[in-house]
Amino acid sequence: MLKLNTAHPDKTESPMNFHSVFLGAGSNSGNRLDYLQRACSMLETLPDTSITGISPVYLSEPLGITDQDMFYNAVIRIRTALNPRELLGSIKTIETALGRPEQHKRWGPRVIDLDILLYGQIVADSDGLTIPHPEMHKRKFVLHPLLDIDNPDHPVLHCKVSELLEKCPDSSSVEKTSLTLHSHSPSS
């Protein structure tokens, strides 16, 4: 089996700190549902990580370049002891393993896109990593599925996701489907 992440602290060093993290997942190329499902399955193989919630799949209009397939989007909540930088490395490894090229057109089609939306109440902005994700409050395809599984606080905008959705100016089409993703974690 593919081992996705190796760097994690020796368990005897210090007690592990687990965090609740929300990840955005999207695909608009190839078998979109299968790419989302495979991303979920790979997230479960990460060390000290389990899936604790998965939203229904949403069908949403592409932003930017509109002449491309609709996106399937979902939000996944994980419980992890990986720190933000380790987690970013892990989701990039998953994207690459699923066939996403390192370089891609900014608004172009993609087999898989994984973003760290919220990492507990942590705020970070350095070396190419911004948490909370700087676009999350502007995107209904993120806020709708996120609200389906939880209603956390946004640690920069200081309001609940439900309030972000009420104020969200995004007018693009976002539709809940009956499609679902599954995990093997008992608590999800």
* Site of interaction with ligand AMP (CB under 6 A): 88, 113, 115-116, 128-131, 133
Please identify which residue in the block is written with the tokens 């007690």.
Answer: 15
Rounded Cα gap, residues 55 and 142, in angstroms: 10
In whole angstroms, the minimum distance from the beta carbon of 14 to ligand AMP comes to 25
Helix runs in the chain, H state only: 32-43, 84-97, 140-149, 161-167
Can 100 be counted among the known catalytic residues?
yes
Q: Is 138 helix (H, G, I), strand (E, B) or coil?
A: helix
Give, in order, the Cα–Cα distances in Å from 92 to each of 121, 141, 188.
22, 21, 23
Can 48 be counted among the known catalytic residues?
no
Active-site option among 77, 115, 139, 170: 115
Can 10 be counted among the known catalytic residues?
no
Can 115 be counted among the known catalytic residues?
yes
In whole angstroms, the minimum distance from the beta carbon of 49 to ligand AMP comes to 16
**C-beta of residue 110 within 8 angstroms of C-beta of residue 26:** yes
Active-site option among 100, 127, 148, 153: 100
Of 107 and 173, nearer to ligand AMP (C-beta) is 107
Of 9 and 134, nearer to ligand AMP (C-beta) is 134
Active-site option among 38, 110, 139, 170: 110
Output the six-digit token pair for 129.
Answer: 């990593």
In whole angstroms, the minimum distance from the beta carbon of 128 to ligand AMP comes to 4
User: In this structure, which amino acid lies at residue 75?
Assistant: V
Q: Which residues are catalytic?
A: 100, 110, 113, 115
